[in-house]
Chains A and B, each alone.
Chain A
Amino acid sequence: MALVTSGPGASNTVTGIANAYLDSIPIIVLTGQVPTHLIGTDAFQEVDIVGITRPCTKHNFLIKRVEEVAKTIHEAFHIARSGRPGPVLIDLPKDIMAAVTEYEPEPPRKIEEESPRPASKKAFYVMDLVAESKKPLILSGGGVILGGASEELRQLAWRTKMPVSSTLMGLGAFPGSDPLWLGMPGMHGTYYANMAISHCDLLIAIGMRFDDRVTGKIDHFAPNAKIVHVDVDASSINKNVMVDVPIVSDCKSALQSFNALLEQQNFSVTDDQRREWTEQISTWKRENPLSYCQSDTEIKPQFVIETLYKLTKGKAIITTEVGQNQMWAAQFYGYDEPNTFLSSGGLGTMGYGFPAALGVKIAFPDKLVVDIAGDGSIQMNIQEMATAIQDNIPVKIVLLNNGYLGMVRQWQQLFYGKRYSSTDMTYQPDFLKLAEAYGWKGLRATKPEEVEAVLQKGLAAPGPVLMDFRVSREECVYPMVRPGGPIHEMALGREMAN
C-alpha cells in the first residue's frame, strides 16, 4: 500500500505503479486529491491522476461521495489480488477524507472463484505430450511465484524429470541448486537454458508471458517444440508466441491438475528414457558454464556476488537495482526458495532495489536482506538511507561500483563503437562519506583479496551497512544475445577476456 498527497505526490507514484503493472504485483495506491468542488479548476496541487494512471493500473477509482469509500476499498483489494494481479489506485478528494459516515461491513469476497481452471481434457493432452516427449522443458515465470505454486512446479519437474528454466521474475520457484535447474533464459540467460529452449521438443511455459528479452527473435524461438502455455491472463496467450496448447488458468490449479493426472496414471519416467536429453544438457553445461575471468588486481563484480552467495549460503533475500548488477545477481546467486529474489522485470526501473529491500526487511525482520546495486541505480532513491535510520531497518547494500551506467555503457561498447555517451559516472559522491553522513556504516573494498572480509564484516554488523566495491570498470554481462537476435546465438565473452 502507498499513501501519497495530491499533485506531485500522486504523479511521483506513476513509475512505481507502471513497474507493478508490468510485473503483475498487487498494490493499492491511495492518492490525495483537491476537494471535489475544486476538481477540474486547475487548483493548487491538482493533477488528473486517474487519467494519468489509466493505462498503467489494473483499475482506478475517483471517489466522489463518502458513502462509496468502504465499497471501493473492498473492490480495490479484490481487483488487485484476483486473476492476474496488478496495481489499483484510489483517488480521494480532501473533503471526502475529512467527511464522516457510518461503516457498513461487506462480506469478504472469495478470490479463488475468479481464477479459471484448466479443462481436464487439456490437462490429459498435456500429460500425453509429456509422456511422448524425448526433450521436454519447463519454462516458469513470475506467475508461479505470485500464484504460490512453486511446490506444485517442483513436484511436476521431479516426477517427470523435466529440466526447468525460469524467467527473471520466476527465479526461486525452482531450486537454483537442483540438478534439473538450467538457470535463466534469454538475453543474458545461460548458454544451456537457451540451447535447451532451441532444441526441446516440448516446452511447457507456466505463468510467463514471452517477453522479448526472453524470446529473442520470435521465428527462432523453440522452433522444434510443441508449446503449452498456462497463464491466468487470456491476453498473454498467443500475444507474442503462437502456442499449440493454450490453457487459461492460474498456475496452481493447472499444476495441481497435471500432478493429479500423473498420480492417477502412476506416471514414471526412467533415467534411461531421459538419458539422451540429460547428457546433451550436461554437455552444454560443461562446454559453456556461467563464467568470468578472475583477476588478481581488479575486483570482478561476479566474484563479489559469488562470495556473497558462499557467505550467506544462499539464505539471504536479494533485491536488485536494474542493469548489470541485476543480471549478475540473477546469474551468480542461487535462489532455492520463491520470493527470495525481488527485482524490477518488465519496466526495468533503476532505483527499485533499495526501497524494496526496506519493505522486505520490515516484512521479514529475521531475514538477511541485501540490495545488490550499481552506482547509478543506488542514486535514484538514495534519500531512503535516512528512512532506514529513522525507522531502524537494518538492510545491507552491496554496491558494485564501476563508475558507469554499466549496462548502457556495455551496449555502447558492443553496438556503438565505444562511443560512450552520458554513461560515465566518474564524478559521484564518496559513498563512504555519504554512508556516514546518513548515520550508516560504510565499508570499501578496492582489491579482490578484500572482498570476503568486507562482506563478512558488513553482513555481521547489526545496523544498515553500505559496502562499496570498486569493481572492474568495463566488465560486461555475458552470455549476451544481441537485441533482436535468435537466442541460440550468444556472445559468450571469451573474445573479450583475451
Chain B
Amino acid sequence: MEKKEYTLALLVSNKPDVLARVSGVLGGRGYNIETLCVDATLDPAYSKIILTTIQDKATIGKIEKQLMRLIDVHKVTDLTQVESVSREMILVRMKLSDTNKGHLALIIDTFNGRVITMNGDHCVMKITGDREIIEKAVASLKPLGIDDMARTGIVSLERKIN
C-alpha cells in the first residue's frame, strides 16, 4: 500500500509519562515519529499532541486504535482526513558576510521571514509556512551558510468548527 505522511492530533491528559506512552505505541512497533508538537490546551488538565508519521492507510488506522487503548488518550483525530491548516516554524542561525547579506535579504523577503536578532557576524531568523515552504526555504538558505537551525515540527488545526 502507498505510504504518505499522516498528521494525528491527540487529546491527552496533561501528566508526566503520557508522551512516553504515546511514543511507545509507535516506537514499540517500529514506527518513526517524523514531527512532534505538544502543549497544554485551554484546559490545563489536557494537552494536545500533534505528531506526523509516514504510514500506509491500513497501518495508520491500527495506530489510531492502539493509541485509543491508552487510558490517558481521550481522542485521536486524523487531520489528514479532514480539512485542516498546517504550519511549521524554523529558527535559523546564519553566518553573515558581505557576500551573502544581499541574497539573504531577498530570501527573507520571499519567504515572508523575519530577523529576530542580529549581532555583527551572525543573525537568527524565523520563517513560518507549511511543510513545502519550509523545505524550500531551507534549500535556499543552505548554500548561504546555515550555522544551525531548529524546526518546530507541524502544528495543525481543523479548519471548521465541529
Contacts and interface: CB of A to CB of B under 8 A. Distances in A.
B71 interface: yes
A233 interface: yes
Given A50-B17, A239-B62, A234 B24 contact: no
A234 B20 contact: no
Q: How large is the interface on B (under 10, 10 to 19, 20 to 34, 35 or more residues)?
A: 10 to 19
Interface in B77-114: none
Contact of A51 (B20, B28, B68, B70): B20
A84 to B, nearest CB: 8
Nearest to B16: A62
A54 B71 contact: no
B24 A233 contact: no
Interface residues of A, number: 14
B71 A55 contact: no
A492 interface: no
Contacts of A58: 69, 71
A79 B69 CA distance: 11
Contact residues of B: prevailing secondary structure:
helix
B65 A234 contact: yes
A235 B71 contact: no
B68 A234 contact: yes
B161 to A, nearest CB: 27
A134 interface: no
A295 B65 CA distance: 52
B140 interface: no
A99 to B, nearest CB: 20
Contacts of B70: 59
Nearest to A233: B69
A235 B69 contact: yes
Nearest to B29: A55
A4 to B, nearest CB: 21
Contacts of B69: 58, 84, 233, 235
Interface string A277-307: 0000000000000000000000000000000
Contacts of B20: 51, 54
Contacts of B28: 55
B23 to A, nearest CB: 10
Contact of A59 (B65, B66, B71): B71
Contact of A79 (B61, B65, B71): B71
Interface string A202-239: 00000000000000000000000000000001110011
Interface of A: 50-51, 54-55, 58-59, 62, 79, 84, 233-235, 238-239
9 tightest A-B contacts by CB? A235-B65, A59-B71, A55-B28, A235-B66, A234-B65, A55-B24, A235-B69, A54-B24, A79-B71
